[in-house]
Structure 1
Amino acid sequence: MLKILLVDDHPVVRFAVRMLLEKGGLNVVGETNNGIDAIQMARQLQPDVILLDIGLPKVDGFQVIDRLRNETQQIKILVLTSQGTSHFALRCQRAGANGFVTKTEDLTGLVEAVNVVGRGYNHFPQADYLDRCQEKADIHQEEATIIRHLSDREMSVLVGLASGLSNKEISLRLVLSEKTISTYKHRLKSKLNARTIIDLIDFARRNQLLD
C-alpha cells in the first residue's frame, strides 16, 4: 500500500482528498498545511508519494520540490493545485515533480494519478493539451516568453501580489524580509513593463496565473 503525505493549506481540501485517497486504498501517513513541515515530515515519514500544492505558506511548493530533489529521487512528488495552466505544469515538471493534477479536474482520477506516480511513472497533462495551451500562449508570445524566464520565486511573488496579498503577507508566506519582497516587486514591474500593482494583476489574469 502506497504511503502518502498530503500537503495543502486548505483544511477542507485536505479532508476531501484524504477521504478520496483512503477510499481508494491508499495510506495517508501525514498531512500539513505548509512547506517547512512538508520537508521535515517527508524526511521523517519517508512517504512513497507527496501530494503537494504550490501556493503554500512559509516555503512554497517550488521550494519544497527543489529541496527534496536535492536530497532524494525516491520520494515521488505529485502536484495538486488550482493553478492549472501550462506555465505551472511545465514549470513543475522542470523543477523535478513527477506529476501534475489540477483541482478543477474530476478528482475521481486522482487515485489513479497517485498510483501511476507511485509506480515510478510521470503523470502530466497530455501533450495535445499542453500544445493547445501553448497555442493560446503564442497569441501573447512576448508575455509567454517573459513568464518562462521568471524564476520560481518571482512567479510566487507575482501570484501573491496579483492575489491581493500585501508585501508583509507575502514575506511571511515565503519567509523573506519585506525589503526583499519589495525588491522582487520592483523587479517584476520592470520585467513586465508594469507601472502599478493593477498592471501586475491584469498581467497575471491575462495569462491565467491565478487560481
Structure 2
Amino acid sequence: MLPIEGIPKVPNFKGLNTAGTNALISLGGAALINAVFGNYWGVFNEYGIPILLADNVISMKYNSTYKIAQAPVEKGSFACYNKVTNPYKATVQLSKGTGGTLMRGAFIGQIETLAASTLKFHIITPEYVYTNACITGYDTAREASDGAQLIKVNLHLEEVREVVVQYDTEEVKNPDDAKPKDGGEKQPASANKSLLKSGYDFVMGLFK
C-alpha cells in the first residue's frame, strides 16, 4: 500500500491506504491516457478498446455513496459500528447522428447486445478513470430541436466487485482426526439382512 502523508504508519489505517491507492491508480490511468490521446471521453472494455460507435459523449453523471451501519441500543439510543462503500453508479449520455440509417441501427443494436451481457467496462474521462462497471440499462431520446436523425442514449452503469473464492485443503496424519463435513439431510436406508439370517430363513422355508 502507498503511504499517505499525515496518516500514522498503521496497516490500512481506517481504510484510507486502500482508498488512496485505488484513487491514485484511477488518477494515474487518466493522466497516462490524457498524455497519449489527449482529452478523451468514452466507455471502453477491459482491454482499453472503445465499445460503442458513438459520435460524441455529451455528458457523464457519477454518483458514489457510503453506508454507515447502525443498531438500536437501550434507552432510545443507537450505535454505529461500520462504514461500507456502495457500488458507484454512472450515466453516460452518447449521441449518434452520422452514418445513415444502417449505422444508427447498428449503434442501437450494439447497445442492446452489450446491455444484455455480463461484460465489465471502464468509463474514461480526461481527469479520472472509473473502472469495473457493468451496464444495467439504457434509454434513448429523440427531440425535434436536435433533428430527427440525432439519437441520444443514456447508458446506465454500476460498479461490479468480484469476490475471489479460496478453497483450503486439510491435511491430517490420521483420517479420524479430520473435521466432520455436513453432507445435508439424508433419508434412512432400509437395513440389509445378514447372510446368516438369509440362510436361516431359506432352511426354515424348506420345512414349511
Looking at CA atoms only, which structure, 1 or 2, has the larger radius of gyration? 2
Task: Using CA pairs under 8 Å that are at least 6 residues apart, name the structure with larger relative contact order, 1 or 2.
Answer: 2
Higher helix share: 1
Greater strand fraction, Structure 1 or Structure 2: 2
TM-score w.r.t. structure 1 length?
Answer: 0.21
Query: Please, what TM-score do these two structures have when normalized by structure 2?
Result: 0.21
